[in-house]
């Protein structure tokens, strides 16, 4: 009888210990297969990427602030995308650069969850802003006469603020469910930043009850806007086909080309990763991290080029600036 009580007590203590979180800090590993002799090269590349992101997006912000001609609905959407890209990059890149440059990969328990929250928050903001961008093009091309009444600066301000507010919900839900989990084993984050999958994989419990709702939330945030974007551009194609002149068709489509490139850069790699992981396609850890970093950092780095080359007003402003510089040099 006494031995049974001891066994029950021991089991109770063991269960209590398991339910406690002993991890007080996490370590961001980055690329597990990267050899130490390449740490300097990796940190330099990531630092240059971060500089390119900051310089390109700050140029767009300065152009917007100094030219009233850009104070139009589409450019207010672009401005919000620029801010989201800069904040996302600033949330993720400095820590992984420090990990490879100074071997400072440790991040506090709270800091890791804060980073996770911000990573998913800015991702959700971008997804909703791309939906607003598609709405702008849809109304502009399919209902051109109603466009000034439906889409104006006030409407876009309201929609942009709504996107920034609504994006809190999925991000908070992920953090609230993941934070109380017991973390009592490894504290190594096999990723370049803290995200939901990387963190909850370390929990000392069955993560299925927590990962599936998070997957559903991610799909809603990702596929909900994407469904409307597909619908809007299908409607745009139908409207363009009905235009009589070939020149009119090309001109109308050219107004959408930049947005389509931005949307494709954001959604296609993400959809590929989600679908591949759910149909049984497996990647090595390093390859998966490389793909994630590419679709996380490539759009913020390339988008400013798209804004400058594929939007007429910004392109004209840049051409005038270069001409003035050439005149002063001569």
247 vs 280, more confident: 247
Computed on alpha carbons and rounded to an integer, the radius of gyration of the chain in Å comes to 24
Residue 27 DSSP SS3: strand
| pLDDT, position 21 | 53
Q: What is the CB-side half-sphere exposure of residue 140 using CA atoms within 13 A? A: 16
What letter does residue 175 receive in the DSSP assignment?
A: H
Q: Which residue has the higher pLDDT, 273 or 138?
A: 138
Number of Cβ atoms within 10 Å of the Cβ of 23: 17
Q: Supply the pLDDT for residue 20.
A: 47
* Total-model pTM: 0.86
Q: Is the pLDDT of residue 50 over 90?
A: yes
Residues 233 and 266: their CA atoms lie apart, in Å, by 16
Mean pLDDT, to the nearest integer, of 39-45? 92
Looking at residue 280, its pLDDT comes to 66
Q: For residues 39 and 16, give the distance between their C-alpha atoms in angstroms, rounded to a whole number.
A: 40
Q: What per-residue string of b and e applies to 174-204 under the rule 16 or more CB within 10 Å gives b?
A: bbebbeebbbbeebebbbbbbbbbbbbebbb
């Amino acid at each position: 009888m006494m031995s049974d009580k001891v066994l029950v007590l021991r089991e109770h203590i063991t269960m209590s210990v398991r339910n406690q979180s002993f991890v007080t800090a996490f370590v961001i590993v980055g690329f597990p297969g990267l050899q130490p002799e390449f740490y300097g090269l990796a940190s330099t590349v990531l630092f240059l990427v971060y500089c390119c992101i900051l310089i390109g997006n700050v140029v767009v912000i300065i152009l917007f602030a100094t030219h009233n001609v850009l104070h139009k609905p589409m450019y207010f959407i672009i401005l919000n995308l620029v801010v989201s890209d800069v904040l996302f990059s600033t949330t993720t890149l400095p820590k992984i650069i420090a990990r490879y440059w100074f071997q400072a990969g440790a991040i506090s328990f709270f800091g890791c969850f804060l980073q996770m929250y911000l990573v998913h928050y800015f991702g959700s903001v971008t997804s909703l802003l791309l939906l607003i961008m598609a709405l702008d093009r849809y109304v502009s091309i399919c209902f051109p006469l109603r466009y000034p009444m439906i889409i104006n600066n006030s409407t876009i301000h309201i929609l942009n603020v709504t996107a920034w507010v609504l994006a809190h919900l999925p991000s908070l839900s992920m953090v609230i469910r993941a934070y109380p989990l017991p973390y009592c084993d490894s504290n190594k984050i096999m990723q370049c930043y803290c995200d939901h999958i990387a963190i909850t994989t370390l929990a000392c419990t069955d993560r299925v009850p927590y990962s599936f709702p998070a997957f559903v939330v991610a799909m809603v945030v990702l596929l909900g806007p994407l469904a409307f974007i597909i619908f809007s551009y299908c409607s745009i194609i139908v409207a363009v086909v009905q235009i009589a002149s070939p020149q009119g068709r090309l001109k109308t489509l050219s107004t959408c080309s930049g947005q389509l490139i931005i949307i494709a850069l954001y959604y296609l790699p993400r959809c590929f990763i989600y679908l591949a992981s759910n149909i049984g396609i497996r990647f090595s850890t390093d390859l998966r991290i490389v793909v994630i970093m590419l679709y996380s950092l490539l759009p913020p780095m390339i988008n400013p080029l798209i804004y400058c080359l594929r939007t007429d007003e910004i392109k004209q402003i840049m051409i005038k600036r270069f001409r003035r510089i050439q005149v002063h040099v001569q």
